Amino acid sequence: MSSSPQPAAPIDTVYTPYQPKVDGPSLAFALGDSAPRYHLGPVLGSGGNSTIYDTYDTDLKRQVAVKILKPKYRVAERALRRFLNEARIMARLQHPGVVPVHDVGEMSGQLYYAMQKIHGRTLRDLLDPEHPSDNPDEIRLRSIDGMLEVFFRACAVMDHAHRLGIIHRDLKPENIMIEDNSATLVLDWGLAKDLKQGESPEEWNAEDNRLEAPDAPPELTITGEISGTPAYMSPEQAQGRMAQLECCSDVFALGVVLYEILTGRNPFHEGTGGNTKLVLGNIKHLRLAPPQRDSEGRRVSPELQAILVKCLEKIPASRYHDASELLRDLRNWRTRQPVTAYGSGVDQQLFKFFLRHRLGTFVICLGVTAAILGWTLVKTTGRADHRIADDARLALQDAVRSHNEAVQADRRRSVVAWEQAQRDWGRARGFAERALAEAPDLLGPEAIQLYLQLALDDIARLTEQNALSEARLLLATLDELSSDKGGPIPVAEVKERLQILRLRLK
């Protein structure tokens, strides 16, 4: 199991506040006959429909940030509604992980809101390998443990939002910021929706049922007919079923962020060449194997793999219902409590209990502890069985990756890609079938599902190629290992597909 995440350290950055010039531009909002309240300084950032300025508040004598809707959107009713919606939702959340809003107003046709000025860097900056640092604190923050700590805090912010019935709809590393004081913020609530007070489903469908910018980069937010950032959308969001979005849609996006923290790459962006439609296709159809090792070479624990798989389920009801459930499992993983997504057995729960209470258990019942730990280690951590299961999981992961690459390959590369996929599947099949026979409990349900899906695909391929004897042999193996005959493979959910394959093989 990977080591527990360490608290994120503050970033060593020196910042000099902006001092406005007397003749600088100003936002024409005045209190009575007084001078303009806000003096605008340099641009801090610019998004799709708005610009944020470093601003001096002359009434309260402080630096703030003022966000102004761009002129071309002043007559766009939906843009106006979303701009005001963002300010109101941020003001309502009142959480340390959400930037406080101080003021909202309009003057001379300029709609704006003022908020606390923040300074730091985003999770995307930490993930970027092009900008390494020699600072020990920043090196620690850029480690997987440091970024996991940031992720936990972002989940806590979303837990607060979900409890209020608010979904974000655009969670991604660019919208998670680490301030100089190490506080974690969730930014850009421009696409957020209050599930209790939002638009009717008719309005959602009228606005959000087709992709308006198919060639936009997958990392950029699309504020047209499908709302969100393609590479982080849930399957239902990618399909334009906006009326069906719930808190679990945010959970899917958090799962993509977690995958990226562990591996350093977005799982749905690879192999697409930046084509947004291909990214959306991957989100809807691509089967993902959880990473066995992180980008630092450490083994990813089965519990954390199970959490990731549950976040990225294609069916919304199979995911965590909201960030609260996800956060609970993450905390249990950190403290070695049972993780609901993993379904820890009694022996594993006892083992984790003793790990949490080593000193007390040693003082109270040293002999009983030694006996139970010995029994637990013999039963669940036999080196040979663990090695068989680990080898099978890694081989299945390689086979799934090769299968996906072959599916996506162009005509010129297709033959070579499928040959490689078949080699990897043959290797994975040997490891998996041995593990299914000798250590199915250690192999885990996710790896068993991968084996089942790859085997069904291979039977279909062999049937199409008229290699019927090989197909029948593999089908017989599935039957022998099926749950119907007391084996570890759950075939109930694929019975219809199995029946079709049997008919073809007669």
Q: Which amino acid is at 318?
A: S
180 is catalytic: no
Asked whether residue 491 carries a pLDDT value surpassing 90, the answer given is no
* CA–CA dist 441, 386 (Å, integer): 10
Domain at 26-116: CATH code: 3.30.200.20
Higher pLDDT: 364 or 474? It is 474
The predicted-structure confidence for 112-144, as pLDDT tens digits, reads as follows 999 999 999 999 999 987 777 777 778 888 999
* Residue 347 zone, left/alpha/beta (φ > 0; ψ -120 to 50; rest): alpha
Higher pLDDT: 353 or 438? It is 438
Alpha helices, H only, 218-274? 235-238, 247-263
User: CB 152: neighbour CB atoms within 10 A?
Assistant: 17
Query: Which tokens go with 28?
Result: 């024409």
Query: Which tokens go with 64?
Result: 């703030």
Mapped to the 3 state alphabet, what secondary structure does 441-452 carry?
Answer: HHHCHHHHHHHH
The predicted-structure confidence for 259-307, as pLDDT tens digits, reads as follows 999 999 998 987 777 788 888 888 888 878 889 999 999 999 999 999 9
> At residue 114, what are phi and psi to the nearest 5 degrees?
-105, 140
Any idea which fold 120-334 has? Transferase(Phosphotransferase); domain 1 (1.10.510)
Q: Which of 54, 103, 170, 385 is catalytic?
A: 170
Asked whether residue 498 carries a pLDDT value surpassing 60, the answer given is yes
Task: Determine contact, residues 170/227, Cβ cutoff 8 Å.
Answer: yes
pLDDT of residue 299: 92
Name the pLDDT band for 163 (thresholds 50, 70, 90): very high
Most confident of 299-313, 366-380, 430-444: 299-313
Asked whether residue 480 carries a pLDDT value surpassing 80, the answer given is no
Scanning the structure block, which residue is given the tokens 């070695």? 336
Please report, for the chain, the start and end positions of each structural domain, with discontinuous segments joined by +: 26-116, 120-334, 382-505
pLDDT of residue 98: 95
pLDDT of residue 501: 72
Q: DSSP 3-state assignment of 371? A: helix
* CA–CA dist 78, 203 (Å, integer): 11
Paired strand residues for 101: 115
Minimum mean pLDDT range among 249-258, 260-269, 360-369: 360-369
The predicted-structure confidence for 11-25, as pLDDT tens digits, reads as follows 333 333 334 443 444
Across 189-223, b (16+ Cβ under 10 Å) vs e yields: bbbbbbeeebbeeeebeeebeebeeeebebbbbbb
Paired strand residues for 186: 176
